[in-house]
Structure 1
């Protein structure tokens, strides 16, 4: 039996994986003597992306590799496959995540200085459990507080390839009174991808908002020019 077209093999693998696959992982699907080059894989992925045009699924490149996912237009229907309904993100969590994303690495105390209120342990715990943030070191000050930065899973969840693709802060202003849009649903219901994971209810001790969010964005605007987008010098993520 002849081997199927490379893009068809990759399509099958991406559908079965339910998570992003890197070029290296795709190459591992083949025997060493028949493995395609990275250039051939990229060309096959381009053909697959073209094949998906006009379909309900799309091929997206994110930080961890490539994945097939349901287009946003179909999320209202596909989302009903899950019994639990995604809850709104609390403003406190959004503010905290925004500060970490745009001013990382940052300590909890520095987040509190900008927000003007204490950061709930539940908020930090939720972000860590979602694997959207991680501890990348400790600041060399008394008490050596942990410094937080976003993760590859954060980028994958929000369909970003790198921190350089974070939306301009002006766009975040439009989300002040809205919940964040749900990321595209995975093409495989059994997927373990981060998309469509509902947020836990707000803890009883979690303040709903720390002051005015527009004021927070003004603070972030002043920081945006110094946004760090390369974290190779920080501690590597645990595998």
Structure 2
């Protein structure tokens, strides 16, 4: 049976109530790290700073409950937790947000294909889209930090494979790529029309960092020239 998470008022904890005092102190530590970090905090990054018997799950549940009615919410993102603006307050902050460069339609399509089909090569992206994909489109996505070079396909030419990054999950508020919408959700959102070909399906995405059997690590390309040896003292004199 799951033990209920205690409700603790951080301003009304007596030092003689050891369990409540330790729990409240752990909450304060987590809150401070969440507030000061631009990256998701995980159990691994939090645990060294908490008490020996800290229940990270219970602590995060307590914080999520406390932040739920506030202007800032605690959300599960990219395998960790982050403090994010409450979704219903986004219109209030839109005028303060810096104007961001919008991705082209081609870039959005390529990003979606990489997210759902990773690891995927440029040729495979072009096959799915049915049109050629410029290197510039991939370069733009690499600059955003949302995609990365995973490895090289073990096929002639050893083409580079692409995959998404934790920054992609943070940007779109996802805990993992498995949270991407499926076929029914895309239909419900009006992103797919009723003229879907028979047998059409959307793959279950995976961003497992381990290389697949048909991939090998990306290695620096060797330079096409070699440096001459440094001149000896006698050569310098001549």
TM > 0.5 between the two?
Answer: yes
Shift of residue 78, structure 1, vs aligned partner: 2.0
| Structure 2 stretches lacking a partner, 5+ long | 1-13, 16-20, 219-238
The alignment covers a number of residue pairs equal to: 192
Residue pairs, 1:4-83, within 5 angstroms: 4-30=24-50, 34-37=51-54, 40-82=55-97
Cα contact 1:27–1:36 (8 A) shared by 2: no
2:232 maps to: none
Secondary structure, counterpart of 1:28 in structure 2: helix
Cα contact 2:149–2:160 (8 A) shared by 1: yes
Shift of residue 18, structure 1, vs aligned partner: 2.8
1:224 maps to: 202
CA distance in 1, matches of 2:136, 2:94: 26
Larger Rg: 2
1:209 maps to: none
2:210 maps to: 233
Distance verdict in 2 for CA 1:117–1:230, change over 3 Å: closer
Alpha-carbon RMSD: 3.0
**Structure of higher RCO (CA pairs closer than 8 Å, 6+ residues apart):** 1
Distance verdict in 2 for CA 1:128–1:218, change over 3 Å: farther
TM-score (structure 1 length as normaliser): 0.69
Runs of 4+ in 1 over 6 A off after TM superposition: none
CA distance in 2, matches of 1:52, 1:161: 18
The answer on 1:142 being equivalent to 2:156 is: yes
2:8 maps to: none
